[in-house]
Amino acid sequence: MPRFVIIPTLLLCFLAGCDQPKIPSSTATTTTTLKASYVGSEQCQNCHQTEQQQWRGSDHHQAMKLATSENIVGNFSAPPLKHHQQKTTFNTVDGQYHIQTDQDTPTASDLTLQYTFGVFPLQQYLTALPNGRWQSLPFAWDARSTAQGGQHWFHLYANENIVPNDVLHWRSPSHNANHMCIECHTTDFKKNYQTDSDSFQSTWVETGVGCESCHGPGSKHLAWAKNPRDALYKNKGWDIALTSGSSALWQHQTATAKPSRIEASDTTQIERCAQCHSRRSRIDASNDKEKFLDAFMPALLDETLYFPDGQIQDEVYEYGSFLQSKMAMHGVTCSNCHNPHNGKVKIEGNGLCLQCHNAEYNTPKHTLHTPETTGSFCVDCHMPTRTYMTVDTRRDHSFRIPRPDLSATLETPNACTNCHTDKTNAWATAAIEKNAGASWKTPHHGEIIAQARLAKPAVFDDLTQLIQDNTQAPIVRATAMGLLTNFPTRNALPLINDALKNNEDLIRIGALRAAEILPPEQQSSLLPLLNDSVRAIRIEAARQLAGNPITQNSTSFTKARQEYIDSQNIDADRAAALTNLAGLAIREQRLQDAENLLKTAIAREPYYIPASVNLADLYRALQQESDAGRVLQNAMQRVPNNADLMMSYALWLVRSGNINAAVAQLKTATQHTQDPHIFYLYAVALNQIGKTGEAFSVLDKAAAMPIYNRNVQLTRFNLALDSKQYERAEKYLQAWQLLDPQDPTVLEITQRR
């Protein structure tokens, strides 16, 4: 769902006389006895007329509006939208806007629109369903000009035939706006999901992203404005100080020609913007947390979200991208570039960057393009765009140097060939080298991340160095920490223990994720993090330590565990959170609770595969094999051709004594995945029925896949030995040794010779 750009930062109010609702009496003795309340953006305009005028009409202001003629930009007299076998019509009835779709056959759905979502480059619409559900519709209006290709209706999933039982159907949880959309399109949104009735009582104080979305509730500020000398109101009545460190006071260093801040900066403003401009999950229901990680758990530079070099891939917004940049590491904040109230950049063109950077960068010698043409603007090369929701182009905020040389090996995009689509990466690389030499081709962490994602053993030492490299952005190092889980045979304990004590919050989070590979007896170093000052870290520590005997009689664990449970209950409307709670219950041997949670997860989202797989595995542990098979069969009917489900079902067939059916199931699974683990299981099953030759072929194919799998290497070596094919075994051992000379088994075999 769309979210809109750069949340405002605070401008101080020096004028009294703001319109005032009832406010707390100033007879209280401390500010902590006064809890601020929301007063609405209209209360701000008497003192902040300029800021209010800038805000009106901004993307923030128009993030969500009532579906009235003043706010609707779509043409409801336009011809019907045809999408595969579906026809959708648009009209108005008695001043209300309607969408009729024949998708929900046999009867068409007549949907009354209640709210608009956004305004440009597309506008979406919300409709109401029973039990307080707000659903975001996939029929959107392209608000771009006709010359830009806009002014028509389109379907968000243009290339997919979305039928009523599809996970992407507009009635499904994936389009529920209570869960993932309205929060960042309103002010002080409260989801208020009711578990017992599977319903919502969602509230908000104001549609659109109002002043208090960023500044926090304003009642105490109004009280201060009435009596600025009242010592009761610190920081002019604000609980969150957004101006701290936001000033764009920079100076150029003569020796290096590089800019540096004159005054210290903090991250308050960036963390406030990150509430919505990040890929994250909420871990605290309140909206008054000053520290981002006390309210949210952010995604790191995870696969499918970011390309290996950190460029944006999925809808990740700006926070994770920006944290990678040298600008973020040196104190640049959002308002250095953006007007916080209208969301626009402060200066159009290269002048924005020249606030800090030398003018020599604004010359053809640097840009390699004619001035004022495409390619000559800083953002063209250093902030390339990626298009989401068909028409919404968003800029990468990591401010990177284009690396076409890496694109050839990492399959990453680059600004050069994004524009010069008829040219190759080699051409772009040569063009840059011709003008800039080879100094720009420095080692890049993306090369290490790419190999670590593939679990390549040879990259472990480089991954270790990346984790310990203080010149790298913390989010990069945290991501590298998380990838240690791909190397279970390596001794990662010293790395993890060291990172658990790091001052950077994200690195501690990465270390906790890496601790997944530690056996329980090596997890004692996680205990201090149960008392960490950061909520995100406490709950991750509790998750990792759940079920470990070392937490017995630990009040710190009890508190952090409850925080983890509370964080998951925020999203108890979704199967993922329920599955997480079931995982906690399984670790704690509360198996009946786990079963109930997983059943509820499947009922809420029948297409969420981990819930079905985990429930079947729970039944296996309980020796209820018939129930396990039933769960998997039902899941496969709902989600056909899913390799993970087929793998789980094949293992159930093996346990049931039907090895031939298991082989057939695994063969089908290999046709729908490139996961070498499934090929490994298929080969083992083939060998079990006497088809050793076919097993070798399958293992050889798996060994040639990009992802390294130790079981593949070990199994084909042992299989060759067992079948007395010693030359083949030697060949496999040599190949394995080239890939991972430090593998314990490889070392043991070579030392025995």
Secondary structure in 3-state letters for 657-678: CCHHHHHHHHHHHHCCCCCHHH
**Strand, helix or coil at 89?**
strand
Q: What is the pTM of this model?
A: 0.93
Burial status of residue 751 (CB atoms within 10 A of its CB: 0-12, 13-18, 19 or more): exposed
The whole-number pLDDT of residue 603 equals 97
C-alpha 325/C-alpha 473 separation (Å) is 7
C-alpha 632/C-alpha 671 separation (Å) is 19
**Strand, helix or coil at 687?**
helix
**Strand, helix or coil at 711?**
helix
The whole-number pLDDT of residue 436 equals 86
User: Helix and strand tally (H, E) in the chain?
Assistant: 31, 19
C-alpha 447/C-alpha 687 separation (Å) is 37
% helix / strand / coil in the chain, to the nearest 5? 45, 10, 45
How distant is the alpha carbon of residue 78 from its chain centre? 36
Query: For 460-476, how does the pLDDT look when each residue is reduced to its tens digit (9 = 90+)?
Result: 999 999 999 999 999 99
How distant is the alpha carbon of residue 180 from its chain centre? 12
Alpha helices in 383-504 (DSSP H): 404-410, 415-419, 425-436, 445-453, 460-468, 474-482, 493-500
What is the chain's alpha carbon radius of gyration, rounded to the nearest angstrom?
28
C-alpha 162/C-alpha 170 separation (Å) is 9
Q: Is the peptide bond before 298 cis (omega within 30 degrees of 0)?
A: no
Contacts of 329 (CB under 8 A, 6+ apart): 473
C-alpha 6/C-alpha 270 separation (Å) is 9
Q: What is the DSSP letter of 600?
A: H
Task: Give the H or E element holding residue 115.
Answer: strand 109-117
CA distances (Å), 280 to each of 309, 316, 482, 687, in order?
Answer: 20, 9, 16, 45
- Low-confidence spans in the chain with pLDDT less than 50: 1-32, 106
Closest CA to 566 of 297, 288, 298, 316: 297
Is residue 192 within 8 Å of residue 119, measured between CB atoms?
no
Task: Give the H or E element holding residue 129.
Answer: strand 122-129
Domain spans, the chain = 64-207, 250-413, 641-753
C-alpha 432/C-alpha 84 separation (Å) is 45
Tokens found for residue 66 = 């009532």
Burial status of residue 158 (CB atoms within 10 A of its CB: 0-12, 13-18, 19 or more): exposed
Does domain 641-753 fall into CATH 1.25.40.10?
yes
Beta strands in 162-279, from DSSP E residues, in sequence order = 186-187, 193-194, 199-200, 206-207, 250-252, 259-261
The total number of residues shown for the chain amounts to 753
The whole-number pLDDT of residue 280 equals 98
How distant is the alpha carbon of residue 423 from its chain centre? 32
**Strand, helix or coil at 147?**
coil
CA distances (Å), 479 to each of 80, 94, 321, 324, 485, in order?
Answer: 46, 54, 13, 11, 11
Tokens found for residue 569 = 């209950």
